[in-house]
Amino acid sequence: MERPRLVDSGAFRSAMGDMPGAVTVITSWGPDGAPSGATLSAVVSLSLDPPQMLACFDHASNTLGAIQSHGRFLVHVLAHGQQDIAMTFSGKSPNKFRDIAWESGVLGLPKIEGCVVAVACEVENIIESGDHKIVIGRVIEVDREGALNPIVYARRKMLPFESEGANQ
């Protein structure tokens, strides 16, 4: 049986841009003891029993290296008004935390203040696929603000997510 031809990467990227997703920042501690973080678009819940999440990192991600070294990571769902934080963590600057309000939070991981939710995970598995590595984490703890509205990313824009009952 002949395999179907793969779609053009530009067409695929464009199609995925129409699929809204939470704006997330993943943090951990680097091997040098400094906090590390990255904005990711591919972060989802994986399982309820046991509770698991997955996050997809580019092979060259410094934060991926930090997570591999530390073994734990914190998933932040950013709140409306934190678009600048998402942009800061999407870059390669080594000083991402310099102008960001953060503290040592859940499991002692670097926690960005003012997020909708922070989910602490322990690495269970790392799978290589394509140009990314998929990090599967067992959820250890959840820190939820509840009253904040998250932002979503779609069509190359960060937009507020608001709905009746979103804060209940």
Give all domains of the chain, ordered by start, each with its CATH number: 9-155 (2.30.110.10)
Across the chain, what does the average pLDDT equal?
88
Does the pLDDT value for residue 6 go beyond 90?
no
Q: How far apart are the C-alpha atoms of 15 and 2, rounded to whole Å?
A: 25
pLDDT above 60: residue 108: yes
pLDDT at 15: 75
Q: Residue 70 corresponds to which amino acid?
A: H
Residue range 72-79: mean pLDDT, rounded: 96
pTM attached to this predicted model: 0.86
Q: How confident is the model at residue 19, as a pLDDT?
A: 67
Per-residue confidence at 158, pLDDT binned at 50, 70, 90? confident
Q: Report residue 113 as tokens.
A: 């203040």
Q: Alpha-carbon distance 68 to 76, whole Å? A: 18
Query: What is the spatial distance between Cα 52 and Cα 80, in angstroms, rounded to a whole number?
Result: 25
Q: How confident is the model at residue 163 (pLDDT cuts 50, 70, 90)?
A: low
The residue among 100, 84, 87, 77 whose CA lies nearest residue 149 is 77
Please state, in angstroms and rounded to a whole number, the distance separating the CA atoms of residues 84 and 23: 11
More confident residue, 116 or 13: 116
pLDDT over 60 (residue 13):
yes
Rounded to whole angstroms, the Cα distance separating 101 from 7 reads: 42
